[in-house]
Amino acid sequence: MAKPDVIKPGYFVAISLIPETAPECCYIGLVKVLDEYGIRITQAEWDDQLDGVKQASEDIFVPWVNINSMLVCTEQEPIRRFVRDKAPAWKRQTEAIYKRPKVNK
């Protein structure tokens, strides 16, 4: 379980999930609520026309046990660079890992 002092409401995150947990392997969004059970985020992406963050109208809840890893953007870091560049790159890298063929030993 993530420690509450590491992730806070208002932070942006890219959450990589354990395979076959949800329709996508990685979600990018703004942390709304977190508790001992998991984290709720509003999905977000960068809108070049608005030059700002565009948030979806729905939230996603992810239980801690389903999280594989997480990229976190605190209030000290540039949100634009995170949401526009770093988080989508993280998502692409995560997708590439999950699409690799499994090797039988």
Total domains present in the chain: 1
> Which residue segment(s) compose the domain that 61 sits in?
12-99
Quote the pTM value: 0.85
Q: Judge whether 6 lies within some domain.
A: no
**Which residue type does 41 have?**
I
Q: Judge whether 61 lies within some domain.
A: yes
Q: Judge whether 3 lies within some domain.
A: no
| Cross-sheet strand order for the sheet of 67-73 | 52-63, 38-47, 26-34, 12-17, 67-73
Cα 78 to Cα 4, 11, 15, 61: the distances in Å are: 21, 11, 18, 25
Q: Judge whether 5 lies within some domain.
A: no
Which tokens is 97 given?
């890992």
> What is the full per-residue pLDDT of the chain (105 aa) written as tens digits?
555 578 999 999 999 999 889 999 999 999 999 999 999 999 998 888 877 888 888 899 999 999 999 999 998 888 999 999 999 999 999 999 888 776 666
Q: Judge whether 19 lies within some domain.
A: yes
